[in-house]
Amino acid sequence: MDNREFIEKARKKIKEGLSVDDLIRKLIAFSDSLEKGENTIFEQLNDLYFLYYPEAADKLKERDNFIAALKESCDRKSTSDKLAIPIESMGLDLDDEEIQLLSLSVNELSNLSDLRKVVNDRLNDIIKKIYPNLNAVLGSEIAARIIYLAGSSYLLMLMPSSKIQVLGAEKAMFAARKKKATPKYGVIYNHELMLSVSDKLKGKMAKVIAAYTSLAIKTDVLSKEDKSSIIMEKMLKDINRVKNGT
C-alpha cells in the first residue's frame, strides 16, 4: 500500500467516525461561549453606562432590556423618553465620541445575542429532526444539552436511567461526597415539568423523566421511528401518578 492509498483510507475512516452528535456538541460549546462573552461584555458595558446615566442603568440590569432600550441610541434624551425618567442625571457628562462608542458597543452586544439565537435555533432544528422522541420528552434545549453531557447519543443510550437523572450534576456530586448525600437530578432539573411540582416530589419526577429519556433515546437510535405520541402518553400517566401520590 503506497502512502496516497493509506492516507485516503485514513481520511475515509475519520470521516465515517464523525456524526451529527459531534455537530451538536460543537454547537452547544459555541453557544455557551457566546453566552459567556455576552455576559462579560454586558457587565462591563452596564458599568460604563452607569457612569454616564446611573438612573437609567439601574433600571436596565437585565441584558435583553439593556439592549432593547439602548440599541437605537444611548444618549440621555432618548433613554429618558423610553424609560420615562428625568433626563437630569448625577452621572458623568460624556462627549459625543464616547456616546458613539457606547452605541457601537451595544450594537455589537446585540449582534452576539442574535448570533447565539441563530445557533440555538439550528440546534433545535437538528434535535427535532434527528431525535424526535428525545425532543418530545425533554424539549430540544435539554435534549441537546444531555447528548452533549453524555458524549453522544449512543453513550446516552447505554446509560442507566439513574445515571441520566444526574447528568450535569457533577459539581454537586463532588460536593455531596462530604455530606454523604447523592444529588437527585442534574440538567433534568430545568425541565418544565420539574417546575410544576413541589420540592418533595422533584426527586420522583426526575426519576420518571430520566426513565422516559432512556426509552426515547433508545427508540431514536435503534428504531429511528417517531413514537413520541405513544411515549408521551405513557409518560404523562406516570407523571400524574407522581403528582397524585399514587
Exposed/middle/buried for residue 42 (C-beta within 10 Å: 0-12, 13-18, 19+): buried
Q: What is the pLDDT along the chain (246 residues), one digit of tens a residue?
A: 566 766 666 566 655 565 899 999 999 999 999 999 999 999 999 999 999 999 999 999 999 999 999 999 999 999 999 999 999 999 999 999 999 999 999 999 999 999 999 999 999 999 999 999 999 999 999 999 999 999 999 999 999 999 999 998 765 444 444 555 456 678 999 999 898 888 888 989 999 999 999 999 999 999 999 999 999 999 999 999 988 876
- Name the one residue in this structure whose C-alpha cell is 405520541: 229
- Tell me if the pTM is above 0.75: yes
Give the separation between CA 148 and CA 133, rounded to whole angstroms: 17
Would you tell me the crossing angle of helices 96-130 and 140-150 to the nearest 10 degrees? 80
| Measured CA distances, 220 to 87, 157, 191 (Å) | 58, 9, 20
Domains of the chain: 3-123 (1.10.287.4070), 132-244 (1.10.246.90)
C-alpha cell at 130: 434527528
Q: How many CB atoms lie within 10 A of CB 101?
A: 14
